[in-house]
Amino acid sequence: MAWDPRGIEYSSPVNCFASAAASHAYFASDPVFPYPQTSSGESAYFALNAQLGKDCKSRSGWLLPHLSTADTARDLDLLRQDVGDSKLTYLGFSYGTVIGATYANLFPGNVRAMVLDGTVDFVGNATGRGPGDGANYPIDVRQGGDLAGQDIFNRFLTLCAQAGTPACAFAAGGHLQAKWATLIARAQAGKLSYQNLMIMAFYDMEAPIADWPGLAAYLQHLYSTTAAGQALNARQASGLAAAARRAQARALAAGRPAPDAVTVHGAAAAPATATAPAKATAAYPANGEEAFYAIQCADSLVPTRDSVYHNLAISEDARVPGFGRMVVYDAMPCATWPCMHTDAYDGPWNLSQTTILVINALHDPFTSYAGAQAAVSELGNARLLTVDGDGHTSMYVEPSSCRDKAELNYLVSGTLPAPGTVCPVYKLPFGLA
């Protein structure tokens, strides 16, 4: 059984705009990160992101204080009771791992079995590990999101080179790392959109078998088109923007970052005022972007000073070109969010009376393997199953019968895989095996 978590789609959706078209237009206008990094460009970018919180407060202000994962975990316990289960059996992907871990600690005696697949570093997500981390490092910087993106992109290049052409178009001529560095340099020089290049490269890492061949072909097209030093023309630039939007939309539709699920925690969870619209009158249910920020900002502490983002964008871009700059700004609306870190669960994370099974690929762009290791340590009573593969969660990592068998055995009988188990995959992108 799955459900829409509160604030998402058919569970009292957060609506920040008058229509779905207005919502789409707003997010399409957001450049993801400001570049070139001029004073005027940054100021406009910060103002655009701050406007989202204002619009959400104006249209859904009654709902915003009631969208934390702690709220959703309480809803989940009501669902458990409604279906008549004495204890919860749970499988959560990506953000769903935060729901699961929060539930297991708010209701530590109510878990029968729990699988967290594609796991967030819970402390890093909420506040950061060190004193002042929440005020000095954005969420994905303190969780190493830039390094995770670069790690799996390196895997993309390695497997592309192994497959060669025609299976992987970007392998043409060899020297793939140098070709990628050249594309980055051309983007930084204005020959093509730096933002759209990185959106496409980052979000197409999620599903290797489905998306990597197409990404390789498009990167080769961009490399060839700009080889003589010319910039993309208007038609080509529009095509790149459309490709970036498709990649981002696929990731959002697949559950990154929106949760798997949610019902509202009873009518009393939100104040019964004349400004609270009924679910049936919601302007539009397809609200993935708004819901992401409403939930992420309720759960996490983030820096609020523009100077933090300005300085980190420069240093992270130098340290991890492209991916570094992108993750600095990933949760930018949270910096001015009207309900930041409201009713957030910050721990402890080690209260579960049931051993939790954590599954993670070695190369995951959104929930890094290092983050999964941290999560297992934070949970205490947990077992890590490593998948020697690529992509985000078992839905999109290459197929592994070892992983599937271990997960099923645990969910059905409670039998955990042996400590240190590493599951191979039996199929790779580009037709490799």
- CA gap 91, 100 in Å, rounded: 8
Tens of pLDDT along 111-163? 999 999 999 999 999 999 999 999 999 999 999 999 999 999 999 999 999 99
pLDDT confidence of 255, banded at 50, 70, 90?
A: low
| Predicted TM-score of the model (pTM) | 0.92
- How many other CB atoms are found less than 10 A from the CB of residue 319? 14
- List helix spans (H) across 254-391: 288-299, 306-319, 323-328, 369-379
Q: Give the pLDDT confidence score for residue 305 in this predicted structure.
A: 97
Q: Is pLDDT of 245 > 50?
A: yes
Find, among 364, 410, 411, the residue nearest to 118 by Cα: 364
Confidence of residue 253 (pLDDT cuts 50, 70, 90): low
Indicate the pLDDT class of residue 250, thresholds 50, 70 and 90: confident
pLDDT of residue 249: 83
The answer on pLDDT for 432 being more than 90 is yes
Q: What is the mean pLDDT of the chain?
A: 92
Measure the CA–CA gap between 259 and 248, rounded to whole angstroms: 16
Amino acid 98: pLDDT: 97
Phi, psi for residue 418 in degrees, rounded to 5: -60, 145
Strand order of the sheet with strand 356-363? 88-93, 111-117, 356-363, 382-390, 422-424
